[in-house]
Structure 1
Amino acid sequence: MHERPEEDVRRDARNLEIGHSAMRWAGDHLEIEVEERDTRLFNPIHRRVAGKVRVYPEALNRTSFALDPAENHIWHCMAPRARIEVEMEEPGLSWSGTGYFDHNRGSEPLESGFNMWHWSRAHLKEGAVVCYEGERGNGSLFASAIRFDRHAEASHVELPAIAPLPKSKWWVDRRTRSEIGVAEVRKTWEDTPFYARSELDSKLFGEEVATVQESLDMKRFASGVVQFMLPFRMPRKPA
């Protein structure tokens, strides 16, 4: 919840520590320890946010995918399907359910490589499917659909039809893919001037599915207004 200086980041092959929070592989699962303070705007009392999240992959995928021809941006879906357990100390909440685990890495800032992207993920009866598309910084377009079987083996499949979505409250353009070209926003979880993340009802490969979808506008992110606002939502703080 805070940006931290380089010296507060520590990592090795199995561990990542950022300030007082950490992620580490613990046998058959990924354990995430959260120790932070919330960043409610205009509120001087920043509550403690602390607890553990455990991610148990059903299977691990070892294949990464380049999002641009120069391979400056790499996406890796490590666990297309997973079981998660959440145990928070503060606030006192706990739950379990299904999850997903991926990460992006690159040799340049995202705003240098992309103008916009749309991403979605849905669990199927067996495996999962991820649709990725957008516009790179040079104006070229990219789009792909990747299906993962129950062993997390990946294969490129035909892209479902484009399903337009209403703009977010901040007027971020959104779109997804659905077998009949129609999808419905069930709930928007995060809505910012440059990013929206939502839950959708859609249809993929003959199945009615709940889809997690995100749209990211990097031109907006790089604008002076948004860059001025970011420290209020994600302040820089030493450990």
Structure 2
Amino acid sequence: MAPGGYVWWYVDALSDDGRQGITLIAFLGSVFSPYYAWARRRGSAADPLRFCALNVSIYGTRSRWSMTEHSQVLRDSDMLAIGRSLIQWQDDQLIFEVDEFATPLPRRIRGQIRVHPAALTGHTVGLDAAGLHRWRPIAPRAWVEVSLEQPALRWSGVGYLDSNDGDGPLEDSFARWDWARAPLTDSTGIVYDVTDRHGADRALALSVGRDGAVAEQALPPRVALPHTRWRLPRFTRAESASLTRTVQDSPFYARSVVQTHLFGESSQAMHESLDLDRFSAPWTQAMLPFRIPRALS
């Protein structure tokens, strides 16, 4: 990774009954780290491996959120250890052994999440004209098993795995983006909208079959969703869509469950909106350390 760059691996899943959900994001060069942003502003060649975190978000009856940042990681071709948590490929599964403390209340998050991809795509999409930022829908359809000791949760459901990487800060290239993934009968539908720093929009719509085959789709119309409690605008691409619930609400980022009609099918989609102007604002940067503590070693 280049100085100031990043890579992350993202997993989300909803339980079969729709009542529980989880998101896991492993960051090397955490794009939302206030400490990484401060290091870059000092003009030094900030090393991304000194700003790493595993973000865990649990939604439903026992919601918890954690994102402790670490200055050291252990890694090889199929293993990544961040703090007390371990992520590794084992056979055909991606396994998260999670051991974190939630914020703002320091409650434990401990247990295992297993991700069983239906197929791997090998597909890469450039998100900006300069070619600095890339997105990989690694396994848009997966079966996810959640087995947590703290909080006591056990469920399974359809999930998703992707990765993003880049050679510089997100906020230098983008003003905002909206993204959604929806499990369909024989595929997963994905819609992505980005607005760059010059005000140019780029949108894409893909369907990925259970065998990993990727096909571009005609771009659905843009559908506005209600603003968040922080007045963050959000929209998606679909024939129609309505907000089911907001599961994460911050000044610059929101994750939501959306009932959508996409590529001719109804589905419950996971959706996110990100405003990088708000992320860069001094008042947001001042708040972030209270949500993203940094480990002493």
Structure 1 match to 2:68: 2
Which of 54, 62, 69 is 2:114 aligned to? 54
| Aligned-partner Cα distance in 1 for 2:230–2:247 | 13
Matched, 1:226 2:292: no
Matched, 1:122 2:182: yes
Q: Which runs of 4+ in 1 moved over 3 A?
A: none
Structure 2 match to 1:20: 84
Task: Give 1:216 deviation, angstroms.
Answer: 0.2
Matched, 1:205 2:263: yes
Structure 1 match to 2:94: 30
Matched, 1:186 2:250: no
Matched, 1:91 2:155: no
Structure 1, gaps ≥5 residues long: none
Structure 1 match to 2:129: 69
Return the letter of the residue paired with 1:220: R
Task: Give 1:140 deviation, angstroms.
Answer: 1.5
CA offset digits 1:186-215 (Å, max 9, x no partner): 011000000011111111122111111110
Report the more deviating stretch, 224-233 or 205-214.
205-214
Structure 2, gaps ≥5 residues long: 1-66
| Aligned-partner Cα distance in 2 for 1:156–1:205 | 11
Structure 2 match to 1:139: 199
Structure 2 match to 1:152: 212
| Aligned-partner Cα distance in 1 for 2:218–2:136 | 20
| Aligned-partner Cα distance in 1 for 2:234–2:245 | 13
SS of structure 2 residue aligned to 1:232: helix
CA offset digits 1:115-174 (Å, max 9, x no partner): 000001101100111100121122221111011112111121111111111111111110
| Aligned-partner Cα distance in 1 for 2:207–2:184 | 10
Matched, 1:111 2:171: yes
The number of equivalent residue pairs is 231
| Aligned-partner Cα distance in 2 for 1:135–1:80 | 23
Report the more deviating stretch, 187-196 or 89-98.
89-98
Structure 1 match to 2:236: 176
| Aligned-partner Cα distance in 1 for 2:194–2:134 | 14
Return the letter of the residue paired with 2:93: H
Return the letter of the residue paired with 1:33: E
Task: Give 1:76 deviation, angstroms.
Answer: 0.7
Return the letter of the residue paired with 2:79: N
Of all paired residues, the percent bearing the same amino acid is 42
| Aligned-partner Cα distance in 2 for 1:33–1:71 | 34
| Aligned-partner Cα distance in 2 for 1:191–1:91 | 21
Return the letter of the residue paired with 2:271: Q
SS of structure 2 residue aligned to 1:138: coil
| Aligned-partner Cα distance in 2 for 1:70–1:238 | 37
CA offset digits 1:44-66 (Å, max 9, x no partner): xx222111100000111111111
| Aligned-partner Cα distance in 2 for 1:206–1:129 | 10
